Structure 1
Amino acid sequence: MSHKHPFTFALAASLCALSTLACSTALSGQSKGAEFPETSTRVLDLAQLSGMDRLLDRLADRRVIFVGESHDRYEDHLNQLAIIQGLHARGKPLVIGMEFFQQPFQPALDDYIAGTLDEAEFLRRTQYFDRWRYDYRLYRPILRFAREQRIPVIALNLESELTRRVGEVGIAGLSTDERARIPTGIDRADPAYRARLEAVFKQHPGADQRNIEHFVEVQLMWDEGMADRAAQALAAHPDRTLVVLAGSGHLEYGQGIPKRLLRRVDVPSAIVLNGADRDLDPAVADFLLFPKQVDLPAAGLLGVMLDQTAAGEGMLVQGFAEKSGAKAAGIVAGDRILRIGTQPIASYADIRIALLDSQPGQTLPVEVQRKGLVGADERLTFLVELH
């Protein structure tokens, strides 16, 4: 069955059409003995370009497929979905590993995939909006397909409390209990991996004041932790192909998750990345995709700034965006949002869930609690046009 994907062209020849030409030996008319810089020109034979079907054929015999992303690029997530759907349509039993969920929340993922937990409660229990925060609609089609087809989804990432602690004190500063939760066999021996991390570190403001060793150790923890969890998933599902979805920085050149997983489990694998804004380097991945940009439809926003640390009922309004439907409707700083539409509000996640399927221009009733100037607090409802 053929599955065309409208957003993708794949270099399904695995970059085999790239070649290096030594121009200095081919220039005509130059004087004998003249030297010119090596251009290292790469030539792409456009006749070799293919589509998603050919890519899926090439991936069908791999036990692990790493599919990278830029987290906020919708087209990357559409391609991830297309690969998962295409392999499933070819009869490949799958398990999906996701960077975007942290390991302690695996039970909530299992319940959602099993159909015993609805989407809103799943988002609350995984603490998605506190721990990941990228628009959930980017990942929603993948998770819904996994739920419909009962494809297991594995939370790959270590809990942020642990990686944050490593950033503060390093691995050596962890307590005995904390050290028991980190992966064993952390490999520090790849100089290219460290060099890439050092280059990233120097781009951060205040890099001179921060501990680069702790920064490197946090990255090692992320990559080794996800690789270790992926290896466990392969062992638990010996008859399934593992599709790992993660940021491209964890996958390119195989330096992050791939080499660390394959060190644990030697299986056939492939790396698939978006080729946009990237040098055509055969070492970076096995396949590069060149999708058209696709924008996620705009969601409706209240235009409020919230104090997530304030105790009390609902969520405290701290301020407003420059263009705020909430402010225009009459809500003021100090109000506590208690309900949006039919959704009671007790947390930041409830706000995000209430607005998940909203659209700009839509009007929603927003109930707030306002401190009374004299006497008891008031409950007021405003009709807010979302921006």
Structure 2
Amino acid sequence: MSDRMSCSQREPVMVITRCPLPLPLIFSSLFLVACGNAAVNQRSASGHDYHPDKQTSKQEETRPAVATVLDLHQSLDLKTLTPVLATRRVVYVGESHDNYAHHRAQLAVIEALYESGADLAIGMEMFQQPYQQYLDDYIAGKISEAEMLRKTEWYERWVYDYRFYRPILNFAKENGIPVIALNVPREITRRVSKAGLKSLSEEERGQVPADIDYSDQAYTDRLKQIFNQHGKEISQDFERFLQVQLLWDEGMAERAAAYLMEQPQKQLVILAGSGHLMHSSGIPNRIQRRQQVSSAVVLPGGDLKIEPGIADFMLFPEAAELPPAAVMGIYMEKADNGVLVSGVLKEGAAELGGVERDDIILAFDGEVVASPNDLRIQLLKKKPGDDARLTLLRRRILFGDKQLEVNLTLGQ
């Protein structure tokens, strides 16, 4: 199959390929926008034929031209869209990282493709390439979720709540769907952000793509607008900002393209921030440069401006909020033998349960905690209102250290 069909090769209602402007297609749970016909029907509502050689009036000559019309009465549900997506080797599904509704929509697309019989793999921006083995081990059932989070250094390398992505990873594990770590190591992007690509050592250069394409000027212009919104105007700073963005894009594209070559039977669903996918800039065109594959870009609407070529389809999921997390109401730091309580929130769960500042948490519900991340992982098992038992070490100058247990009811 060719990667794109021409705009004339279309179904009566829905266009399944990239055309000048998406056509909104609305349905109850997930609203979808498919690419529509950019040409305006030249037959008027009264049924009169359009005659291009007919002389126009002066009023008609000055009337503003309508380049594109969006038909908001057309509709398509996910069940109807799925066979279209199933024909594409790569399906890109965008997100705003902290939008729970977007992640629910991503999971809905993955579930629909899986149920259609697709042999899936899921590529994720959220994991970095050196930690692929631990994702493989988790999907294979060799390590627990907690161990996977520790080994992939989730809390150090991705700042967003793991619970946004947990249902997707659970579905992948339950169904043996490979999860591919797409992103480049954070240490490298940090170095480039501070001193540019030229600062990378020979060893570090071996971990990033040798070929970084700067030719997409429209993408560069959009990135410049984002950069300027943060009050940055120094050109040298923008050059480093651009290098980091392109390094992310090229790194993820190179890893995805390599996987597609290694696994020719797989359909790859790529989950990434919408900024990496809009207008097929960022990741899609860089995969295409490496390997010609059929693809579709699916973006969540709402926050994004609908404009020509932004995507093949747009999802408008129902609003949803991530359920409140169970919290203890403390500030914490790493200690040599556990987790140091560096602060206690007034009337929080910890204070009400008897936890004091400078206590060291040794265990949570009997499980040893060696770092703040261990405590975060333990809290994933809880919800607000649940009880928890802490084993503490309380330091006392006059009477020596004392180990004690306290029970508390977790808040939100």
- 2:113 is aligned, of 51, 71, 87, to 87
Amino acid at match of 2:352: A
Q: CA shift at 1:225, angstroms?
A: 0.3
**Would you say the 8 A contact 1:99–1:156 is kept in 2?**
yes
Deviations 1:52-96 (A, max 9, x none): 012112111100110001112122112211111111111111111
Q: CA shift at 1:31, angstroms?
A: 7.7
Q: CA shift at 1:328, angstroms?
A: 2.6
Give me the TM-score of the superposition, normalised by structure 1: 0.89
Q: Does 1:368 align with 2:389?
A: no
- 2:278 is aligned, of 252, 264, 282, to 252
Q: CA shift at 1:342, angstroms?
A: 2.8
Q: Does 1:109 align with 2:130?
A: no
Aligned counterparts of 1:271 and 1:32: Cα–Cα separation in 2: 41
Question: What is the match of residue 336 of structure 2?
Answer: 312
Aligned counterparts of 2:231 and 2:321: Cα–Cα separation in 1: 30
Q: Does 1:344 align with 2:368?
A: yes
Aligned counterparts of 1:334 and 1:40: Cα–Cα separation in 2: 68
Amino acid at match of 2:69: V
Amino acid at match of 2:91: I
Amino acid at match of 1:314: G
SS in 1 for 2:94: strand
Q: Over the residues paired in the alignment, what is the CA RMSD in angstroms?
A: 2.4
Greater CA deviation, 257-266 or 41-50?
A: 41-50
Aligned counterparts of 2:381 and 2:69: Cα–Cα separation in 1: 45
* Identity over aligned pairs, percent: 44
Aligned counterparts of 1:358 and 1:133: Cα–Cα separation in 2: 20
- In structure 1, stretches of 5+ residues that fail to align are 23-29
Question: What is the match of residue 332 of structure 1?
Answer: 356
Question: What is the match of residue 11 of structure 2?
Answer: none
Q: Does 1:212 align with 2:238?
A: yes
Question: What is the match of residue 67 of structure 1?
Answer: 93
Question: What is the match of residue 46 of structure 2?
Answer: none
**Would you say the 8 A contact 2:232–2:238 is kept in 1?**
no
Q: CA shift at 1:175, angstroms?
A: 1.3
Aligned counterparts of 1:149 and 1:299: Cα–Cα separation in 2: 27
Deviations 1:25-48 (A, max 9, x none): xxxxx9859957x58675332332
Q: CA shift at 1:370, angstroms?
A: 1.6
SS in 2 for 1:9: strand
Aligned counterparts of 2:395 and 2:236: Cα–Cα separation in 1: 43
- 1:10 is aligned, of 17, 29, 32, to 32
Amino acid at match of 2:370: A
**Would you say the 8 A contact 1:74–1:138 is kept in 2?**
yes
1:173 to 1:319, Cα distance in 2 relative to 1, 3 A? same
Q: For 1:118-267, list aligned pairs within 5 A.
A: 118-204=144-230, 208=234, 211-267=237-293
Which runs of 4 or more aligned residues in structure 1 lie more than 4 Å from their structure 2 counterparts after TM superposition?
A: 17-22, 30-36, 38-42, 205-210
**Would you say the 8 A contact 1:7–1:75 is kept in 2?**
no
Aligned counterparts of 1:367 and 1:6: Cα–Cα separation in 2: 49
Question: What is the match of residue 385 of structure 1?
Answer: 409
SS in 2 for 1:71: coil
Give me the TM-score of the superposition, normalised by structure 2: 0.84
How many matched pairs? 371
Amino acid at match of 1:43: V
Aligned counterparts of 2:361 and 2:314: Cα–Cα separation in 1: 46
Greater CA deviation, 195-204 or 206-215?
A: 206-215
